Structure 1
Amino acid sequence: MRTKLNGLLTLLLAFVVHISFAQDKTITGTVTDADGLPLPGVNIVVEGTTTGTQTDFDGNYAISASEGQALLFTYIGQRPARRVVGAASVVNVQMEEDTQALEEVVVTALGIKREKQALGYAVTEVGEEQLESRPEGDVARVLQGKAAGVQITNQSGLSGSATNVVIRGQSTFSGSNQALFIVDGVPFSSDTNSVGRGGDRQDFINGNNGSSRFLDLDPNSIESVNVLRGLAAATLYGSQGRNGVILITTKGGAAGTSGPKKTEITVNSSLFFNEIASLPDYQDEYGNGFDQNFGWFFSNWGPSFSREGPAGWGNQPNIDDNGTLAHPYSTSTSAIQAAFPEFQGARYEWRPYDSVEKFFRTGAVANTSINVRGASDDGKIGYNLNYGYLKDNGFTPNNSVTRNTLSVGGRAILSNKFTVAGTLNFARTKFISPPVALSQGNGATGSGSSVFGDLWFTPRSIDVQGLPFQNPITGGSVYYRQNNSIQHPLWTIGNAETNQETNRVFGQATVQYDITDNLNIIYRAGIDVYSENNVNFQNKGGINSNSGDVRLASGVYETWNNTNTIWDHNLVLNGDYDITEKIGSTFNVGATSRRTVFDQNGVASDGQQVFGVLRHFNFLNQNEIQNFSEQNIVGVYGQADFDYDNMVYVTLAGRNDWVSNFAKDNRTQFYPSASVSFIPTAAFDGLKSENILNYLKIRGGIGVSANFDAGNTNYPTVSTLFLDAQDVQDGSGQNVVTNTTGRRLGNENLQPETLEEIEVGVESRWWNNRITFDASVYKRTTNDLILDRFLDPATGFLRTSTNIGEIESEGLEADLGVEWFRAAEEGGFSWRTNVNFTAYETTVTDLGQDTDQVVYSGFSNLGNAAIEGEPLGVFFGGRILRDENGEFVIGADGYFVDDPVDGIIGDPNPDWVANVINSISYKNFTLGFQWNYTQGGDVYSSTISTLLGRGLIVETLNREDTYILPGVDTNGNPNNLQINNSDFWFSNVLFGPSEMQVYDATTLRLQEASLSYALPKKFLDRTPFGALTFTVSGQNLWFRAFNTPKGANFDPNTAGLGVSNGQGFDFINGPSSRRYGLSVKASF
C-alpha cells in the first residue's frame, strides 16, 4: 500500500512540476502596425488573468504564459488581437487599424478636437494612407472622390495646371466659391494667379495657365485632411469659411501628438509615367481640303489617301501619279519660298501622318519624400522633419513642375504648465508651360497663343514634325497654310512660354498655458507668404489671325511678381467642466485678426527688336503691371458645447467680424450657429445589439455666414482715381500729369451677401460594425447677391456694384461603408467598400426688379448665366430657331436657322456623383481601386466640335452620306433638303448655333488603382528596415463619356473657364493625363 501511495505521490509531483514548467514559459515577440512599424505601449494581457505587460519603444515584449492560454493585444486606434500560445516561444503580432475607433475623435474648426458623436454636422476625414505615394503631386487632385460634397475639376491635364475645388456647389456668382484651406490651424492661400497677358489681361481667355497655390503642399507630408462642408461646422472661421473648409494637418503639425517615442525615418520614393489620356481616335482615310477636293486648308474634308474611288486622289490635278504634290513651302508666300530654297520643286507625299500622336511624349514623374520623426522617452517632446522633391514632366513638350519642400515641426510640454508647438514650412515650386489660351475651331481667339488650339485640328495629311517651323531669316513661324495664317505648334513650343517660380514660407507658433486641469489659454500666430515670379513671352513672328493683336506678331515679354501675405492671430480660452454627474460642458472663447495683402508689380513689353533676346530693353513699348489690395478682418468668437449622459450633445457658436473693404456701416457681420446630436442607441436600452444595430446618431445644425467678396473689385464701396505721369505730352514734348476716374462708381450702401443653411443627418453602424451609413440633407440660401449693374456712360461711369436677389441650394450627401469580409486572423482575407454620393441643385430664385437674367462668366452671347427659376450657371448662348410647336426651323440652304434671341442651351450641374472605393487585403497584398461615376450635367466642347467640324475623327468617315436635318422649313413643311457630310459637321456643328456644341457629360472613370506588397516581418529581421512596401498604382487609367462621340475620347473633367465661377466650358483647354508607376516606402 505504501508503495502504491509513493507511486501516486511521485506521479502527482511530476504533474505539478510539469504544470509549473508550463506556467513559467516566457513568450516574446514584436507588435507592429499594418505598415510593419513597431507599436510602443501596446497592452498585452493573458486572457482570464491579471498578468499583463506593455511593449517597449521598439514594439518588443515579454510575458509568462502557458500553452493553450490566449494573449490579448489592445492599442488605441487598432483592432484588438488574440493569439493562442502554442509550442513556439515567439509570437509576433501585426495589428490592424480600427477605422471606427480612429473616427471617434476628429479635428474641427480652429483645430478643436471633438468626439465625432458630439458633432451636429457633417465632417469627412481623409487619412495619410489615402494621400501618400500617389501619382499626382497636387493635393487637391489627390483628394478627388475621397469626400462626399466636394467637387474637384482639373482645368487641364498639363502638369501643374490649376484645379477648382468647390464644396456643396456654388453659392454666389460674384465672389469666390473656392473652399478655404487651413494648414496646421493657419489660413493657407489657394489663389490661382494667371500667367500670361499681364495686368488686366490675366484671364482664361487670354491664357490662364497659372497653378493653384495648394500645389505648394506635398501630399506625402500630410498627416490627415478633414473636410467641413456646412456653415454650422465653419462658423468659427467667419466669412472665410462660407464655402466650406479643408483642414490639413501636416506631419509637422501633428508632431508630439502621435507616433513613436524613438527616431523613425521613413522614405517614400516614386517613379510614375505621365501620358495623354484623351487622345482622339483619328481617321486616316482622308486628308486636308474641302468637298473632297485638295487644298491647304484648316479642314480635313479633302480627297482620300486611296487612289481609286470618287474621292480618291487619282482625281486630283494637284496630286501626280506617284501620290505626291508640290511641297507647301514651294507654293506659299514669296517670303517663305525665299527662306526655304531647298523646298522649291520638292514633292510632298500625300498620306496620313501621325502628327498629333507624335507631338506628345511620355513624361517621367519622380517624387521623393523623407520624413524623420520621434519623441523623448517621456513623450513630452516630439519633433518632425520632412523633405520632399517632385519633378513632374508633362506629356506636353516644355511642360513641367519642379518642387522642393522642407518642413519642421515640434511640440514640447514644459514643466511650468506651458506647452509650445510650431511648424515652419518652405516650398519652392516652378511651373513651366506652353501658352494655352481660349481656342475654337480655327485657333486661339483671345490675345494669346494656344499650343492645343493650333494642334488639335491638324489635318491628317500634314506632317507637323517634318515641316520646318521657323523662318531661318526672320525667326518667325511658318506652316503649311498658303497665307501662313496658322502658328506652327512646334514654333509655339520653342518660342513662347509661361512660367511661375514661387517661393513660399508658411507656418505657425503656438503657446498654451494650462491655468488649471480644466482651463487653458492658447495663443497662435500664423503666417503664409508667397512670392510668385512670373514670366510670359513670345518671340516676334507669331500669328493670331483671329484676335488681331499685333503684339503677338511683334513679340511680347512680360515679367511681374505677385506677393501675397497673410498674418493670422488667434487668442482663445478653452474650458472643460462637468456641471453634474451626467451633464458636461466645454467652451471656447477667442479673438482673431487676419491681414491679407496682395501686391503685384511688373512690366509688359512688346515690339521686340532682336529676335530671341528676352530683355525689356529689346522691346519698343513698356507698360506697367500693377495691382494692390489689402483686407483686414478682426473677429471675436465663442462656442459652447453641452452633453448629457453621452447621448445628447448641443453646440452653440457665434462669431462677429469687422471687414475693412466695406463702408463703415456695413462692415460688421454676426454669424450664429447651433447644432444638436442625439444618440438613440445610448438613450434606449434594447435598441442597440451586436448583430443588428450597433450605433445610431441623429444630428442637425443651422449656420450663417457672409460674403464680402465683390468679385471684380477689391474696393466696391469707393470710386477710384487714376494718376498717370506719362499718358499725355504737351506741344513741347513734356509729360503732363493726368487724373482720371475709374469706370466703376463706388456704392457706399453695398452690403455683404448673407448665407443661411440648415442641415440634418444620420450616422449609423450595423452588423458588428460591418456596415456604416452617414447621410446629410441641407438647404442653403444666399441673399443680397452682389451684382455689377451697368450705368449710362453719361454719368461718367460704366458700372457699379449693387445688392439684388437670392439663390437657393438643396443637396444630399451620403457615405456607405461595407466590410464584406473581415480577416479572422492576421493575414486573412478582408474586403471593404466605401461609397460616397453627392447630389445638389442650386436655383436662382430672385434677381431683383431690373433684370431676370445675368451672364456672369464667359461672353455676353455665350456663358454661364443666372436666370430666375433656373439652375445657377446654365449655358446661355445661340440656339436653333424653333417654331410654335418646338420644331427646328431649317433654311433654304438646308442648314439650321439661328434664333435671333439667345437662350438656355444646357446645364453644367451634374444630376449626381458617386465614388466607389474598394480595399482588398490578403496576406501581405492589398488591392485598391476607386471608380467615379458622374450622372448628367452638360459640357460645351470646342474640342469635340473642332474634331467633328474639321473632319478628323472616325465619326466623319462616311463622306458619301447626305444629311436631312430634322425640322421644318420656314413655311412649316417637313424639311427634305439634303446637305453633304462636311456641310453638316462644318457649317452646322462647328460654326452653327452654340447649342450644337453641347453634350451630356455623364462619365464613368477608373480614378485610381493600386496593388501593394508589404515585405513580411521574417524577411525584415535580416534588414535595417522596420517596414518595406512596394506599390504599383495609376490614376485616371480609363474613362468613358458615354454621350459624347466615341472618337473624340473627350474627358469632361477638364472643362472650365480657368479657376473662376465659369463651369462646363471646354475651349480646347487641353487633354487629360493618365499616370502610372511604382512607389517604395521604407521605414528605419
Structure 2
Amino acid sequence: MKKILKSLFFLFFATIQVVAQNRTITGVVTSQEDGGPIPGVSILVSGTKTGTQTGLDGRFSINVPPTAKQLEFEFVGYAKQKITIGKSNVINVILVQGSKELKEVVVTALGFQVEKDKLGTSQSTVKGDALMKSGETSVLNALSSKASGVQIARSGGDPGASTYIQIRGQSTITGDLQPLFVIDGVPVSNSSYGSGDGSQGATASGAVLTQGTSQQSRLNDLNPDDIENIEVLKGTAAAALWGTRAANGVVIITTKRGKANSAKINISLNSTYSIDVLNKSVPLQTAFGQGEGGIFIASGRERYSWGDKIADRSGAGLINGQGGYVILPDGSRRYPYVDGTITNPHGGQASQNVYDHAKELFHNGYYLDNTLTLSGGDDKTLYYVSLSNLDQKGILKANSDYHRKSFNINADRHFGDNLKISTNLSYVNTTSNRAQQGSNLSGLFLGGLRTPPDFDNSSYQGTYVDPTGALFPNRQIAYRNPIGANVNSGYDNPFWSLNQITSTSETDRFLGSFETKYDPKSWLYFILRAGVDYYSDSRTDNYPVFSSTYNTGSLTLQEISELQFNSDFIGKVTKPLSKNVNFTGLLGFNYNNRTYQNMGATAQNFILPNAPFNLTNSAGSARFPFNEQTLIRTTATYTQLSFELYDQLFADLTGRAEQASTFANTFFYPSISLAWQFNKLKSLESLNSWLSFGKLRASYGEVGVQPKPYLNATYYYPAAITEGYGPSLNSSSSVYGSGGYLRGYPSPAGTALEGNPDLKPERKREIEFGTDLRFLSNKLSFSAVYYANKTTGAIFPVQVPATTGFTFKNDNAAEMRNRGVELELGANEWYKNKGFSISSNATWSTNRNKVLSLKGVNTIFLNGFSAPSSNAVVGQQLGVFWGTDFLKDGNGKLILDANGFPQAAPNPSVIGDPNPDWIASLGTTFRYKQFSMSVLFDHVQGGDVWNGTKGALINFGTHASTGNEIIAPSNLKAWDGSIISAGATFRGSIADFGGGPVALNQAWYSTAGAGGGLGSGFGPVASQFIEKGTRTRLREITLSYLLTGPKFKIKTKLQSINFSITGRNLILWTSYSGIDPETNLTGVTNGRGLDYFNNPSTRSYLFSIKVNY
C-alpha cells in the first residue's frame, strides 16, 4: 500500500525520487570543427531507456545506475559516439561531423513514434523552439509559414482573435474546414462560437458572420511554451485512422515532458514583453465636411460627407440653432447646427478643425507573458510542471484585452519493466473583452470611419435637454445625433461603442488524459488511453439604451460549454517474419462522445435605462431564453499493418470501421502507403558521397466528414405556454400555438426542413506521390509532393417539391476536388566558417480547387453579403465572389451608356476568387558563437480581396480618394447627366471608360441624392472593389544572445540566460489599399477575403529573457 501511495505521489505531484546508489555524471559536448557547444545532443545509457539531452550550453547531467557501462551520444550530422564510463563523474565529449545521421522520429496519427524516413505519407514537423521564436501567444499564429500546404490567417488584430487554418484546400462545402487537433493522443476542441443573441449571425459551427465581435479559437487556450513539437498530417493516408474527423487534415500536438537526467530539478523562467502598434490605417479625406452637394448639412441625421470645403470656412465660432441642446462633460453646451444653403454653404459650421478618425481610437497595446517550468526525473519517474500567466491589452483604447492563466502537469511512472502510466492534466482560465466590428451599427470602424472629418468624436456622451427643459443623462453623442437627442444615432460614435458596449467572456477549461502501457512480451504491448476536454464559456453582451444596434437596450447572458470524452484500447505486435521482413500489427477500439450546450437569455426594452446588468430590467414579453444542446457519439474499430522489407521498402495498410449517432450503418475508411529508400540499392552506392538519402513514396487513403447532428430526422418544435418569461402561446393557432417544423440553419431561414434518414458521411479520396532527398552528408534536403483528392457526397440543403410539405432537405448532393503540389527545401549550415554559420529553409505550395457539381443548382451562398458573397459555384474554386459586374460584351469590353459611363450587368456572376495561386516562405538563421538571428518571410501570390470598407467610405465621402478637387479641362458629363463646364472646379476625378473623359463626382460615387451611386460601395456593381491580395511579409525577425559557459555557471549557479529581441509583422509589401489583405470578416468560416470595417492588425516588438537553472 505504501508503494502504491508513493507511486501516485510521484505521478500526480512530480516529487523527485532519489536513488542513493546511483551516480551523477556531468559534462559538456562540443563540436570538433569550431569547439562550440552543441545543444540538443541525445545521450542514452547503453542497454536502458535512461537518457537526456544537452542544454543550450552543450552541458548535460545524467543519473546512471551502478551497472551502467557506456553512454551513447547522437546528434544530427555528427557521427555517433559510445563512451565508456570510468571512475570519473565528468565526461566531456567532442563530436565529429559525419554522414551518419540520428534518425528523425515523428509522431503519427495515433500518437506513436516512428522514423520519418520509413513513412510513405506527408507530414510536416514544427519544433516547439520555432513556435517560441515567433513571439506569438497563439499556437496557430505561431505555426504560420512553417509548413508547406498549410494556409493560416488571423481574422483580425483583436487580442486572442480566432485564426483560420486550411490544409490542402477545402474538403467540404457547408461543413467545418478546420483540421482535427490532437494533443498527446487525445482529440480536443478548437471551436470558435459566436454569440447566441442573434446579433452576430452565428453559423452552425458558431463562427461569427458579418457583424458582432471576433471570438477566440479554443486552441488559444494552449500555451505555446508547453509544446514540444507539432506534426501536421496533410494527406488522407496519414490521417485515415481518424475516419470522419480527418477530411481537413490532422494536427498532432505533443507537449513537453520531463527528461531522465538526475535528481536535480530543472527550473526555467521565460518572460516576454511585447509592444503592439497599429499596423496600417485606412486613408481618409480631411478637406470636406458633413453634408451633400457641397453644402454643410447636419439635420435629419445626415450621413454623408459630401459637404462644404472646410478650408473655406471662416474659422469663427458655431452659429447655434434653436430647440434642445446637450450639456457636454466639460459643462459647455452644444445646440443644433444650422444647415448651409446654396448662398451660404457653410451654414452654422464655421470651424476649420479636422480630426483623425482613422487613428483616434488607438494607442500602443502590450502583453506580458510569463512561464515558469519545473522538470526532471530519473529512470523510473519523469515530470514536467508549468505555470503561465498572459496579460494582454489591445491597441484599442478601452475594452480590448485578453488574459490567460494556465497550469499544466505531465508525469510518467514506470512500475517494474513492463508497466508505464502517463498522465497529463491542464487547467486554463481565460478572460477577454471584445470590441464591435464589421457590418454592425455599433462597429468601431463602421461608425468611426464614416464620421465626417469636421466632427469631434471624443465628446461621445452628455446630458440631453429637450425643448421642454427635461434632462436625459448619459445620452450618446454622434455625428448623426450631435446633441444626444432621444433618437437612434444611425451609427454609434466609436468612443461610445468602445466605452459603453461590453462583450466579455470568461472560460474555464480542463484537459486531462491518462495512458497505461503494458508490455507482457518484448514484441507485444497494450495501451489504454482516455482523455477528457471540457470548457465552459460565460459571456455577457450589453448594449445600453440608445445604442444604434439596440435602441431600447439589450443584455444577453450566455453559457457555452463543450465536453469531449475519448478512449482508445490498442494492442500492438512487432515481430520479424524472416531475416529480411519485419512486421508490426495494430488493432484498436475507439469511443468518442461529444456534447455541446449553448444556453442563456436576452432581455431588451430596458425599463430603467441606467440600471446595472440584469435580465429583470425588462418586461416579460421582451425576454427571450434560448437553449441548444447536441450530442455526437462515435465508435470505431481500426487496424494498421506495417511491413519492412530488406531495410528499404516499407508498406503501411490501415482501415477504420466507424459508426456514429449522426448517420446510419457502418462506414469503412482504408489507406495504403509505400516508401522505397532507393539510395540503399547497391548500384547507387557510388553516389553516397553526395546523395545521403533518397526515398520515393506513394499513398492512397479515404476519410470522411460527419454530418451535423439531427439532420437525419424531421423535428417538430412545440408551442410554449409561459408566464412572464419568453413569448406566450400564439393565438393564431388554438392547437399548435407557435409550433412548427424545424426552421433555419442548415436550411435557409424561415423554411421547413425535412430530415434525411439516408444521409451519409461525406467521403474524400486522395492519391499522393512524393520524394524525399538529402545531399552532402544531410546538409541539404528536398521534398516534393503531388496530390489529387475528390470529395463526394458533400452535404448541403437541396430544395424539395412543395407537395412534400417541406422546402429543403439536407442531402449528399455535391462533389469537389483539389489538386496541388508542395515543395520543401532545407539547407543546414550551408555556409560555415570560423564560428559563423547560415542555415535556411523554404516552402512552396499551390492548390487548385474545383466545385464539380451541385445537385439542382449552379451556385449556393456560403457567407458574406448579398453582393458580394462567398459562393460555391459549379466549375469554380470554393468561396469565389458572387455579385454584379459592369455590363460587357463578348470580348470583355465595357458597354457604355449614352453619357459614356459603364452600366451594371443584369445578372450576378463570378467577380473574383479569394483563393491564392500559391504560397511560399523563406526562413534563414545566422549564428556566430553565442549570437543568432532568425528571419522569416512569407509570400502569398494572388487571391482577391473585397475591399468593402473602401466602397462604403467612397459612398459616404470620407475615403481619401474622394477628397480631390479637379479643374475640368473641358466640358465634362457627370453620371446624372449634368455638365461640368470647362474651367470649373469640382470634387472627384476624371475617367475615360472608352467613350471619352467623364467627371466622377458625388453623383457617381455616392447614393446620396436621387439615381446616383453606380461607383458606390452601396451601388449595384460590387466588382469594382475587388483587389489583388498578393503580398510579401516580414513575418518574424529575432536576434538572440546566449549567456552561458563554465565561468558563468560557477559564478551564477545558473545553466544559461537567453536574451532575445523579436519583431513581428514589421513590413508588409502589397498593392492592396485596405488594412491588410490577410484580414477576414467572417473569421474561421468558409467565407474568405471579405474586408468590411474589420478591426486592424498589429505589428509587434518583443523583448524576451529565459533563465535556466
| Alignment TM-score, normalising by the size of structure 2 | 0.83
Superposed counterparts of 1:640-1039, under 5 Å: 640-662=641-663, 664=664, 667-687=665-685, 689-710=687-708, 714-726=710-722, 727-729=727-729, 739-742=739-742, 743-791=752-800, 795-819=804-828, 821-823=830-832, 828-848=835-855, 850-891=856-897, 895-952=901-958, 954-960=960-966, 975-976=995-996, 978-986=998-1006, 987=1013, 988-992=1015-1019, 993-1017=1021-1045, 1018-1039=1047-1068
Between the aligned partners of 1:105 and 1:140, the Cα distance in structure 2 is: 23
Equivalent residue for 1:508, pick from 509, 513, 516 = 513
Q: CA deviation at 1:335?
A: 5.8
Q: 976-985 or 932-941, which moves further after superposition?
A: 976-985
Between the aligned partners of 2:219 and 2:96, the Cα distance in structure 1 is: 32
Between the aligned partners of 1:503 and 1:225, the Cα distance in structure 2 is: 24
Superposed counterparts of 1:12-23, under 5 Å: none
Q: CA deviation at 1:936?
A: 0.4
Aligned CA distance change for structure 1 residues 965 and 941 (closer, same or farther; 3 Å): farther
Aligned residues between the structures: 987
Between the aligned partners of 1:1069 and 1:99, the Cα distance in structure 2 is: 52
Aligned CA distance change for structure 1 residues 453 and 873 (closer, same or farther; 3 Å): same
Superposed CA offset, 1:731-758 (max 9, x none) = 9999997643222111112222111000
Q: Which residue of 2 aligns with 1:3?
A: none
Aligned CA distance change for structure 1 residues 97 and 122 (closer, same or farther; 3 Å): farther
Between the aligned partners of 2:1079 and 2:293, the Cα distance in structure 1 is: 33
Give the AA of the match of 1:839: T
Give the AA of the match of 2:1069: R
Between the aligned partners of 1:98 and 1:284, the Cα distance in structure 2 is: 67
Give the AA of the match of 2:457: V
Q: CA deviation at 1:294?
A: 3.4
Q: Which residue of 2 aligns with 1:118?
A: 118
Q: Which residue of 1 aligns with 2:618?
A: 619
Q: Which residue of 2 aligns with 1:20?
A: none
Task: Tell me if 1:1051 matches 2:1076.
Answer: yes
Give the AA of the match of 2:558: W
Superposed CA offset, 1:974-999 (max 9, x none) = 53362234445443042331111111
Between the aligned partners of 2:291 and 2:115, the Cα distance in structure 1 is: 69
Superposed counterparts of 1:179-218, under 5 Å: 179-195=179-195, 197-198=197-198, 201-202=201-202, 203-218=208-223
Q: 474-483 or 902-911, which moves further after superposition?
A: 474-483
Partner of 2:603, secondary structure, is: strand
Aligned CA distance change for structure 1 residues 341 and 820 (closer, same or farther; 3 Å): closer
Q: Contact conserved, 2:649 with 2:676, CA < 8 A, in 1? A: yes
Superposed CA offset, 1:454-500 (max 9, x none) = 11233332322256467582423211225843311111112212121
Q: Which residue of 2 aligns with 1:598?
A: 596
Between the aligned partners of 1:709 and 1:732, the Cα distance in structure 2 is: 36
Between the aligned partners of 1:107 and 1:1027, the Cα distance in structure 2 is: 30
Aligned CA distance change for structure 1 residues 732 and 976 (closer, same or farther; 3 Å): closer
Partner of 1:960, secondary structure, is: strand
Between the aligned partners of 1:802 and 1:939, the Cα distance in structure 2 is: 31
Between the aligned partners of 1:1058 and 1:411, the Cα distance in structure 2 is: 39
Equivalent residue for 1:1073, pick from 1069, 1092, 1098 = 1098
Q: CA deviation at 1:782?
A: 0.5
Give the AA of the match of 2:318: A
Between the aligned partners of 1:739 and 1:746, the Cα distance in structure 2 is: 17
Between the aligned partners of 1:97 and 1:1030, the Cα distance in structure 2 is: 29
Q: Which residue of 2 aligns with 1:6?
A: none
Q: CA deviation at 1:1021?
A: 3.1
Q: CA deviation at 1:800?
A: 1.2
Task: Tell me if 1:464 matches 2:457.
Answer: yes
Task: Tell me if 1:224 matches 2:226.
Answer: no
Between the aligned partners of 2:100 and 2:445, the Cα distance in structure 1 is: 48
Partner of 1:901, secondary structure, is: coil
Q: Which residue of 2 aligns with 1:372?
A: 374
Equivalent residue for 1:361, pick from 341, 344, 363 = 363
Between the aligned partners of 1:557 and 1:58, the Cα distance in structure 2 is: 59
Q: Contact conserved, 1:41 with 1:54, CA < 8 A, in 2? A: yes
Give the AA of the match of 2:388: G
Superposed CA offset, 1:837-884 (max 9, x none) = 110011011223x22222232345531222222222211112212234
Superposed counterparts of 1:354-433, under 5 Å: 354-376=356-378, 379-396=379-396, 397-415=398-416, 417-433=418-434
Aligned CA distance change for structure 1 residues 843 and 694 (closer, same or farther; 3 Å): same
Q: Which residue of 1 aligns with 2:435?
A: 434
Between the aligned partners of 1:492 and 1:100, the Cα distance in structure 2 is: 63
Q: Which residue of 1 aligns with 2:563?
A: 565
Show structure 2 runs of 5+ residues with no match.
Answer: 1-24, 47-51, 63-70, 82-88, 203-207, 338-348, 465-470, 483-488, 743-751, 978-991, 1007-1012
Give the AA of the match of 1:1071: P
Q: Contact conserved, 2:376 with 2:384, CA < 8 A, in 1? A: yes
Q: Which residue of 2 aligns with 1:108?
A: 108
Backbone CA RMSD of aligned residues: 3.6
Give the AA of the match of 2:446: G
Q: CA deviation at 1:779?
A: 0.4
Aligned CA distance change for structure 1 residues 588 and 962 (closer, same or farther; 3 Å): farther
Between the aligned partners of 1:601 and 1:212, the Cα distance in structure 2 is: 19
Q: 577-586 or 738-747, which moves further after superposition?
A: 738-747
Partner of 2:1024, secondary structure, is: helix
Partner of 1:608, secondary structure, is: coil
Give the AA of the match of 1:401: Y
Superposed CA offset, 1:524-564 (max 9, x none) = 011001111111111111114xxxxxxx0011100111110
Aligned CA distance change for structure 1 residues 684 and 94 (closer, same or farther; 3 Å): closer
Q: Which residue of 1 aligns with 2:443?
A: 450
Superposed CA offset, 1:64-108 (max 9, x none) = xxxxxxxx99434574599xxxxxx99977989999956621001
Superposed counterparts of 1:510-589, under 5 Å: 510-544=515-549, 552-589=550-587
Superposed CA offset, 1:866-914 (max 9, x none) = 2222222211112212234432233456553222211110011100000
Identity of aligned residues (%): 26
Aligned CA distance change for structure 1 residues 247 and 740 (closer, same or farther; 3 Å): same
Q: Contact conserved, 1:135 with 1:1033, CA < 8 A, in 2? A: yes
Q: CA deviation at 1:822?
A: 4.3
Superposed CA offset, 1:125-144 (max 9, x none) = 11111112543211111111
Aligned CA distance change for structure 1 residues 95 and 501 (closer, same or farther; 3 Å): farther
Q: 764-773 or 231-240, which moves further after superposition?
A: 764-773
Q: CA deviation at 1:792?
A: 5.6
Q: Which residue of 2 aligns with 1:13?
A: none
Q: Which residue of 2 aligns with 1:1061?
A: 1086
Q: 193-202 or 151-160, which moves further after superposition?
A: 193-202
Between the aligned partners of 2:140 and 2:604, the Cα distance in structure 1 is: 36
Give the AA of the match of 2:878: L
Q: CA deviation at 1:510?
A: 0.4
Between the aligned partners of 2:198 and 2:682, the Cα distance in structure 1 is: 65
Q: CA deviation at 1:391?
A: 0.7
Aligned CA distance change for structure 1 residues 820 and 419 (closer, same or farther; 3 Å): closer
